[in-house]
Amino acid sequence: MLKTISFAIMHFCVAFTVAYLLTGDWVVGGLLAVVEPAVNTVAYFFHEKF
C-alpha cells in the first residue's frame, strides 16, 4: 500500500510540474494534476478489461 501511495504522490507531482511548465499557470497545473490521474485510472481499468 505504501508503494501505491508513493506512486500516486509522484504521479501528482509530475503531472503538476509538466502542466505548470507548459502553461506557466498554477491553477491549470493543479487542475491537470488532479484530472489527469483520474482519467488515467479509468483508462487503465478499460485497458485491463481488453
Domain boundaries, the chain: 2-49
What per-residue confidence (pLDDT) applies to 12? 87
Q: What is the pLDDT of residue 20?
A: 94
CB 16 within 8 A of CB 29: yes
State the average pLDDT over residues 31-43.
88
pLDDT of residue 23: 94
The letter for the amino acid at 42 is: V
Predicted structure pTM score: 0.72
pLDDT (0 to 100) of residue 42: 87
Cα(33)–Cα(27) distance, integer angstroms: 10
CA distance 32 to 50: 26
**Which ranges in the chain belong to alpha helices (H)?**
2-23, 26-49
* SS3 label, residue 24: coil
4-34: per-residue pLDDT in tens? Answer: 788 888 888 999 999 999 999 999 999 999 9
